Chain A
Amino acid sequence: MIMNTVLDSKMERTFDKCRELLEDLQFTAVREWKRAQPGRKAVAYFPVYAPVELIHAAGMLPVGLSGAGDRLDLQYADARFGSFICSIVKTTLEMGMTEHLQPFDGFLFSSICDSARNLCFVMKRNFPQMYIDFIHLPHNPSSPATPPFLAAEYRRILTCLEQLSGHKVSDDDLRNSISLYNRNRALIRELYALRATEPQLVRAWESYLLVRAGNLLPVEEHTKMLEDALQELRTRALKKRDSIRVVVEGSFCEQPPLVLIRMVEEAGCYIVGDDFTLGQTWFETDVPATGDPILELADSYVNRSVYSSVRHDFRKPRWTALVEKVKATRADAVLFLIAKFCEPAYFDYVPYKQELERAGIPHLQLEFEEKLFTFDRVRTEVETFVESLVFD
């Protein structure tokens, strides 16, 4: 595989920093943030659709946790969650049991799936000193009662967060947080757009690192990082490779190992679209920073959030959205990268597959676990898939 040898050293440093952040199970960055601002707190959230704006507005640091990869041996969690449960649930609990979650004062879960939900309450029993809460994200977007219900739910959470931080949140605080995150998400959308148009300029694993860093950094800092990176990336002089263009679907929650993402690319794919932690954008467009901010946030989840297997909108099926995404990114194929035992992703594979076949879009299904470390088999499968598309 031809790797570009003259990589901008500044870019390289940014990627290294991101990788360090993501691999650091001690959450040194979070600890330092707290040390630098005594009295302020950090609240973790389970991968997607968390109302980070609420945490931010309450003056705390929102941190997205996406498992522990292969960096933690399971000692306790296996006995609690047993077979047939995805890894992220177990590694998250394991982090708690091994004191890795110490820097966090709270933890938010939401109604994405049954395993994650039960995890919330198991955590509650095992870590009574932590504020742990569960957000009921609604599954009936068609009722006019839904946005007000979610707004009430957000207000309930906000009251708890205010108690935790000791900071009363005003509407202006919220609007300010919404604007900051809007800007951040807009940059990420820009990054994804760049990948779709000039895939040689930014590899998927690089973009992944940049985006995932946003889970762990204060939004202001991350926005700056993205701004700089976007500027640098555009000036890269890299040649187009002879690769097929694929959209990756199915890794919205548990994350594939970084090496696996690289391997997919090296086997001959440009990943022009993906759902790694839903690209951290969560909304298709900006959340209006006017009016009643809580209601706007709620309305945005109900009416403007990006599709995924853990969000149900019967007005526009996910499978239609996937086909549209393939067309919009001019992808040749879809690669289902599904976390082992992720039931929502398993279920959706069927209608996705049916619709892709109807639209004549080839696809390949792969399974991974975050602790995976040998990739020979996956590699053979991806290579075969690429070969079946390029050789005639």
Chain B
Amino acid sequence: MSEKTEYRGSIHQSQKDLMLNWYEQLDRAATTGDPPTVSMMISGNCVELLEGFGAVPLYPEVNALQLAIRHQSLDPILAAEDLGYAADNCAYVKADIGCMLKGITPTGGKLPTPTLILCNFVGCNTYLKWFEHTAKLTGAPLYVIDVPFMRTDEPRKEDVEYVVRQLKETVEKLEQLTRRKFDYDRFRQAVDCSRRSEDLWSQIKHLARSTPSPFDAYFDAITLMGPLYVYRAKPEGVEFFETALAELQAKRDAGHGVYEREHYRLVMEGPPPYPYFRTFRDMFAKWQACAVASTYSTVGGLWEFGFRHDPDHPFESVALHMIEQNVTNRNYLQRYEQIRRYVEEWNADGVIIHFVKSCRLFSAGQGDMRDYFTKQLGIPTLYIESDLEDPRYFAEAQTKNRIDAFFEALEHSKATALRGSA
């Protein structure tokens, strides 16, 4: 494929540097026990709190994701299945546990046993199992922050109080475990950094509203997501997103898009198939189809609709962020609404729903979502199935067939519309 599908600017280098630096810190923690590390889920993460201890987050998902992208996920998955996990268990968990069993890390560096396993349960019941099992395997202490699900339109007062209370218990727990005093000022500063990073990130996402979009809000956004989870509460993060915004803004102003001609604008729902990331991207590149928005890029936070952390109410805003501002803890109908807004405000031609077998949180019921978009709203929608981690569930020929058939139809109806208006 000769099509240039990826924008490579200086942000890609600084992103790499930042992430490498993170891995080095983890490596150091593994050998020297310092800095303290807290393993946590990306969705609803509270890195700001960790800043109050100078602690570093450890995201098992990032490892699982790296493995899959490097085509190394099958071995650990099989190792976990040998232990008794079912073919139908979430492969993210299996890959992570398999790594633990076999002592593999995707970067080759060492991973520390976390000071605390903090199960920030947001929406995904599998997290609970995952962390429970990891705690059983490693013997590391476990604390669960139970985050009430978004079952009402607005978070309830009791929900926020409940989470704040648990955050404070986490602080106590970490004070015991790290034998460090919680630095409240540093926590507040971190919250303020997050606010600024988020503001920049939100502006970046809004750039995709231009035609053509200067970046792909699914495939490219994933590159930017690492710093968002690890560094948003640090000055380095703010700086990173400033550069990113400037660079992409310049591209937008010059009228440069992802493709020479942007033919289709899409909204993507569901995580990507990491083991076939490139192949999958090319299937869309072939049609010069650019993702202008995606739900997956909001698993760690949903800032494009206005939410920001608030240094004046640090605990409350962290709690609110966990409860309300990530796609995993929002109910299905809220997700429908989010996608609908993307289609309208980001001016998209269609929706791609990627059903991943591992993840019931994302996928259970996506058929209804398709029904809603095609029937209720009349938006062209494609539904494809594979997996985000397990390479065995990617049927390349079939997926390609579906994608081609979808664009063939889209092209056809665009052409018909054009002919009709001519």
> Direct A–B touching in the complex (beta carbon < 8 Å)?
yes
Which A residues have a C-beta under 8 Å from some C-beta of B? Answer: 78-85, 89, 111-115, 117-122, 124-126, 133-136, 138-140, 142-143, 145-146, 149, 152-153, 156, 310, 312, 314, 317, 341, 343-344, 346-351, 353-354
For B393, give the chain A residue with the smallest CB separation.
A84
Which B residues have a C-beta under 8 Å from some C-beta of A? Answer: 83-86, 88-90, 93, 121, 123-126, 128-129, 132-133, 135-136, 142, 144-146, 148-149, 151-152, 156, 158-159, 161-162, 165-166, 169, 331-333, 336, 355, 357, 360-361, 363-368, 371-372, 385
A347 and B148 within 8 A (CB): no
Whole-angstrom distance between the alpha carbons of A111 and B126 in the complex? Answer: 12
* A122, A125, A350: the one within 8 Å of B133 (CB): A350
CB distance from B335 to the nearest CB of A (A): 9
* A82, A124, A145, A354: the one within 8 Å of B355 (CB): A82
Given known A312-B128, A350-B133, A353-B84, contact A343–B90 (CB-CB < 8 A): yes
Given known A114-B126, A121-B333, contact A80–B367 (CB-CB < 8 A): yes
Q: A118-B361, A312-B144 are in contact. List 17 more A-B contacts (CB 8 A).
A: A78-B367, A79-B371, A82-B367, A84-B357, A114-B361, A117-B123, A121-B331, A121-B365, A136-B149, A138-B148, A139-B128, A143-B169, A146-B146, A149-B161, A347-B129, A347-B133, A349-B85
For B83, give the chain A residue with the smallest CB separation.
A350
CB distance from B100 to the nearest CB of A (A): 13
Whole-angstrom distance between the alpha carbons of A153 and B158 in the complex? Answer: 8
CB distance from A196 to the nearest CB of B (A): 27
CB distance from B94 to the nearest CB of A (A): 10
* A78, A118, A317: the one within 8 Å of B332 (CB): A118
Whole-angstrom distance between the alpha carbons of A152 and B331 in the complex? Answer: 20
* B152, B158, B166: the one within 8 Å of A143 (CB): B166
* A134, A142, A350: the one within 8 Å of B149 (CB): A134
How many A-B residue pairs have C-beta atoms within 8 angstroms? Tell me: 149
B166 and A122 within 8 A (CB): no
Whole-angstrom distance between the alpha carbons of A138 and B125 in the complex? Answer: 11
* A79, A133, A134, A149: the one within 8 Å of B158 (CB): A149
CB distance from B305 to the nearest CB of A (A): 19
Given known A113-B360, A134-B331, contact A80–B162 (CB-CB < 8 A): no
For A157, give the chain B residue with the smallest CB separation.
B151
Whole-angstrom distance between the alpha carbons of A156 and B93 in the complex? Answer: 35
Given known A82-B355, A149-B148, contact A350–B85 (CB-CB < 8 A): yes
Given known A113-B125, A115-B360, A350-B83, contact A140–B145 (CB-CB < 8 A): yes
Given known A82-B363, A83-B385, A125-B368, contact A114–B158 (CB-CB < 8 A): no
B365 and A122 within 8 A (CB): yes
Given known A81-B365, A85-B364, A111-B149, contact A346–B89 (CB-CB < 8 A): yes
A139 and B158 within 8 A (CB): no
Can you spell out 25 A-B residue pairs with CB atoms less than 8 angstroms apart?
A: A79-B367, A80-B371, A81-B367, A82-B366, A113-B125, A114-B125, A118-B364, A119-B364, A122-B365, A134-B151, A140-B146, A142-B144, A143-B166, A145-B161, A145-B166, A146-B146, A152-B158, A343-B90, A346-B86, A347-B133, A348-B129, A349-B84, A350-B83, A350-B133, A353-B84
Chain B contacts of A317 at CB under 8 A? 132, 136
CB distance from A113 to the nearest CB of B (A): 5
* B125, B156, B364, B367: the one within 8 Å of A111 (CB): B125
Chain A contacts of B363 at CB under 8 A? 82, 84
A114 and B88 within 8 A (CB): no
Given known A82-B355, A125-B368, contact A140–B89 (CB-CB < 8 A): no
